[in-house]
Structure 1
């Protein structure tokens, strides 16, 4: 079945921002068997952007698979469809991988992120859902697109005090280098820690999965790593009662508001810059912001070390390190967790 749905999402407040998260209405679901395709045309986030990161969640993931494709308007019409990912809960049945070598005059895919050759204000989305025809039936529960303008200048916040300081969520600690292949497992370890955390909060021990199991379920053989952002959020969101997506924030205050509400947030950073060095090596690192001290110093679960996972780093160093990824985050929460007001429209995904 092929269909097209036009989305009227341009009514969002047109306030200046470098990022915006859009939840796509779920006007498609998995067939009983075989596959379906659905296009969502002319999605307008209300900002001009040059990068898009998709996210998806579906229950009973071992019995389903998804492909995400994007295209943009060009001076001569439409670009080709760019593949942003193939994902399934069972990689032996259906591929779980990114697609490389897609660059042309209209854009490129950087593993999990679409980068337009020129700034634009709308995008088309194509979703392919495939079912293996077994029970329980997969069920799509979340589709989001994170839009950002990476050419915008990052402004650092400086506050003498804040009502969001002085809070800590005691997320359990795991260290990536205590596992085989640990040097590339910062993302899987962060996801594992958040699963462990919510298994305690929800009293659901079955969702506590250690790092090797998370690694196996988020590994991207094309990227050759466990750091594909939407693969990590897709795995977290594959458990009933949990949802997750990739977003980009507008300032450190977004983190402060969420951590004050008891929501720890995984952030993509440069580890070198986080540790106070002037420049960072190529390649990112994942840490979890678990709170802020009374003076505004951020508190982390940093999986980079075998011991001493709970750490603090200088606020200015963290802000510079976080901007290395254009303030990319994993939003990972239970369905029943109340989110605070979202003034910048970067975390309202339920």
Structure 2
């Protein structure tokens, strides 16, 4: 998943100004990226802190009571088996010029603003995610405004302009959003200089629903929220003790079988680790696109659903399929699916999900010699964790494999744990680069088993 040049250039310039260096591909057989590039998360570089409690806070609005508690301007809560928020009547009308098509169209809109949420820990980063469906003629925008620990406030930052399809607007993040103290990096709002001690003490989310004027159409939003975190900078993390062995049966798809296909979506399959991983778990839960939805894909291509996932996660500003919330939003377009972006604090938390039957998609970066058996190095890569061996090693469906049959891999626990949970690393030239600090996607059905509900509840996701 090669990073788009414009975004990499902007990130590199910002990091150089802060006295560090942007993440860039090392000698990679699979030169991939993830969104949410971190300009240096927090604390002092090199600290090997125990992840500990309280460093990650999840807050998601999804119940009928949640939707009724927010501030509304033309939206309404709808009850039922899966409560949601819809556009009841327009609060106004606006023109939107799509920066990726140049087309200007008129839209009616309505909005909902969440109550202010105070995370359990003042945060250096906030990542929002949402679950919704936008019929043709509709789309939505997610914004966030934070309150700093010095009681000043951020502007309203746009964290995504999104639609289930791509016929009305081009799904997009928004660059060049900063107040000089915090910045939006594609899908992640981050404090610019965490060593200053400045943090996000609280935040609000604003959801704006759009439709063709007079149409009566509406998006339906089932879940909206964010993960706020203050993960200390660290090159290594403490080793955890292995838990019980368990392996889930998850479909296996290789991104590399799609090399050269649909290059308009980030140069084709070689960059599709994120949507390929997302599709594996969508299908693990028994969902997937219909034959009609796949009719646009060249019939000569194997696994057309992977092409479909790439198209429907593509961020036209980022010029890639690795926007984290766009992947979870894609998964949640399937019937009765929940999906969020979060961080886990330890491998033990991931083991608890696997034992409950919930696989996870994890984001990590590493040099080739740091992950035995991978055969490549990468500045950012998504893979699907499906189990643990009796020795505690990680069983992963790694899409950076030559074929579907080769996707299942076993990686050494200590190596994998460190490359996933660290926030700092050295590249092949000895320069300091970023790590994701435990970022992952979690998908699960609305009607889940009690053991799954308990595991998700323990992480603050339900």
TM class by shorter chain equals 0.7 to 0.9
Deviation per CA, 1:251-307: give whole Å up to 9, x if none: 001110011111111101115366249xx9673100100011111111000000122
Please say if 1:182 is aligned against 2:182: no
SS of 1:122's equivalent in the other structure is strand
Deviation of the 1:57 alpha carbon: 0.6
Give yes or no for contact 2:124–2:191 (8 Å, CA) kept in 1.
yes
1:147-162 aligned within 5 A: 147-151=228-232, 153=234, 155-159=237-241, 161-162=242-243
Return the alpha-carbon distance in structure 1 between the equivalents of residues 273 and 288 of structure 2: 25
C-alpha distance 61-325 of structure 1, shift in aligned 2 (>3 A): farther
Structure 1 residue corresponding to 2:121, chosen from 44, 47, 52: 47
Equivalent in the alignment of 1:81: 156
Give yes or no for contact 1:26–1:143 (8 Å, CA) kept in 2.
no
Larger CA deviation: 316-325 vs 203-212: 203-212
Deviation of the 1:198 alpha carbon: 1.8
RMSD: 2.7
Q: Highest CA radius of gyration, 1 or 2?
A: 2
Return the alpha-carbon distance in structure 2 between the equivalents of residues 120 and 137 of structure 1: 33
Give yes or no for contact 1:26–1:141 (8 Å, CA) kept in 2.
no
TM-score (norm 2): 0.65
SS of 2:253's equivalent in the other structure is coil
Please say if 1:302 is aligned against 2:382: no
Deviation of the 1:124 alpha carbon: 2.1
Give yes or no for contact 1:57–1:142 (8 Å, CA) kept in 2.
yes
Equivalent in the alignment of 1:229: 324
SS of 2:109's equivalent in the other structure is strand
1:232-251 aligned within 5 A: 232-251=327-346
Equivalent in the alignment of 2:461: 349
Equivalent in the alignment of 2:67: 26
C-alpha distance 281-18 of structure 1, shift in aligned 2 (>3 A): farther
List runs of 5+ in structure 2 lacking aligned partners: 1-51, 69-74, 76-84, 91-107, 193-197, 262-267, 295-303, 422-434
Equivalent in the alignment of 2:101: none
C-alpha distance 40-116 of structure 1, shift in aligned 2 (>3 A): farther
Return the alpha-carbon distance in structure 1 between the equivalents of residues 378 and 121 of structure 2: 29
Larger CA deviation: 78-87 vs 266-275: 266-275
Give yes or no for contact 1:16–1:47 (8 Å, CA) kept in 2.
no
List runs of 5+ in structure 1 lacking aligned partners: 1-14
Greater than 6 Å deviation, 4+ residue runs: 202-209
Equivalent in the alignment of 1:171: 250
Give yes or no for contact 1:66–1:88 (8 Å, CA) kept in 2.
yes
1:1-350 aligned within 5 A: 16-24=53-61, 25-27=66-68, 29-32=85-88, 34-74=108-148, 75=150, 77-117=152-192, 118-132=198-212, 137-151=218-232, 153=234, 155-159=237-241, 161-162=242-243, 165-179=244-258, 180=261, 181-199=268-286, 210-272=305-367, 275-276=371-372, 283-307=379-403, 308-323=406-421, 324-338=435-449, 339-342=452-455, 345-346=458-459, 348-350=460-462
Larger CA deviation: 56-65 vs 85-94: 56-65
Give yes or no for contact 2:140–2:219 (8 Å, CA) kept in 1.
no
Return the alpha-carbon distance in structure 2 between the equivalents of residues 262 and 196 of structure 1: 14
Return the alpha-carbon distance in structure 1 between the equivalents of residues 366 and 392 of structure 2: 20
Equivalent in the alignment of 2:14: none
Return the alpha-carbon distance in structure 2 between the equivalents of residues 119 and 203 of structure 1: 40
Larger CA deviation: 211-220 vs 337-346: 337-346
